[in-house]
Amino acid sequence: MRIFILLLCLLASALVQAGELEQAYQKEFAYLVAEKKALAQRLTTLRQSQKHQLDQVALDIDALQKVFLEKQNQTDRLNRQVVEASRGVDYAENDDLLLDTTLSQAQESLGKLDKKLDESVAQDRRLASAFAQATDVIVLDGQVLSTQGRYFLADGEAVDGQVINVGRVAKYGVSPQGSGILAPAGNGQFSIWDSSTRAIAEQLAEHLYPQVISIFLFDNVEKGIEKKDEKSFADEVNAGGLVGEVIIVLGLVGLLLVSLRIVMLMRAGSNIHKIARKVNEKIASGDIDAALHVCSQNVSAASKVIAATLRNLKRDRDHIEDIISESILHESSYIDRFGAAILVIAAISPLLGLLGTVTGMISTFDIITEFGTGDPKMLSSGISEALLTTKFGLVVAIPLLLIGNLLSSWARQIKNDLEQAALHMINTHKK
Q: What is the pLDDT of residues 173-232, one digit of tens each?
A: 888 888 877 778 777 777 877 777 777 777 777 777 777 777 776 666 667 666 665 666
Residues 249, 367: one domain? Answer: yes
Note the pLDDT tens digit of each residue in 362-380: 777 777 776 666 556 666 6
Over residues 282-302, the mean pLDDT reads 63
As a whole number, the mean pLDDT across the chain is 76
Which domain covers residue 25, as residue numbers? 17-139
User: What local confidence, expressed as pLDDT, does residue 253 receive?
Assistant: 92
321 Cβ neighbours under 8 A, 6+ residues apart: 423, 426
Among the candidates 139, 160, 191, a domain finishes at 139
Same-domain status, 203 and 344? no
Torsional sign, CA 252, 258, 263, 264? positive
258 and 360 part of one domain: yes
Q: Do 98 and 150 share a structural domain?
A: no
Q: Looking at the predicted structure, is the pLDDT value of residue 430 above 60? A: no
| Average pLDDT of span 131-140 | 77
- The verdict on 221 and 322 lying in the same domain is no
387 in the same domain as 268: yes
Q: Nearest Cα to 305, choosing from 267, 268, 265, 336? A: 268
Considering the domain boundaries, does residue 184 fall inside one? yes
Q: What percent of the chain has pLDDT over 70?
A: 69
Looking at the structure, do residues 244 and 333 belong to the same domain, yes or no? yes
Residue 423 C-alpha from the chain's centroid: 61
Cα gap 366→67, rounded to integer Å: 84
Q: Of 331-335, 340-344, 386-390, which one has max mean pLDDT?
A: 340-344
Amino acid identity at 35: E
Q: Which helix (H) or strand (E) holds 146?
A: strand 144-152
**What is the mean predicted confidence (pLDDT) over 69-77?**
87
Quick one: which of 93, 99, 92, 91 has its CA closest to 127?
A: 99
Same-domain status, 291 and 326: yes
Residue 295 lies in a domain: yes
Q: How many domains does the chain have?
A: 3
Per-residue confidence (pLDDT) for residue 286, from 0 to 100: 62
**Cβ–Cβ under 8 Å, residues 349 and 397:** yes
pLDDT exceeds 60 at position 429: no
Confidence (pLDDT) at 150: 84
Residue 364 within any structural domain of the chain: yes
The whole-angstrom separation of Cα 335 and Cα 419 is 14
* Residues 98 and 244 grouped into a single domain: no
In a shared domain, residues 164 and 275 = no
Residues 265 and 405 in one domain: yes
- Look at 105-109, 389-393, 395-399 and tell me which has the smallest mean pLDDT: 105-109
Q: Is residue 285 part of a domain?
A: yes
Nearest one of 348, 340, 342 to 258, comparing CA atoms: 342
Opening angle at CA 357, ends 353 and 362, nearest 5: 145
Mean pLDDT of 33-49: 85
Higher-pLDDT residue of 26 and 11 is 26
- Decide the pairing of beta strands 170-174 and 180-186: antiparallel
114, 139, 164 - which closes a domain:
139
Residue 9 included in any domain: no
Residue at a domain's end among 202, 226, 250 = 226
User: Based on the domain organization, do 298 and 157 belong to the same domain?
Assistant: no
Q: How confident is the model at residue 402 (pLDDT cuts 50, 70, 90)?
A: very high
Is the residue at 170 inside a domain? yes
Q: Is residue 3 part of a domain?
A: no
Q: Answer whether residue 11 is part of any domain.
A: no
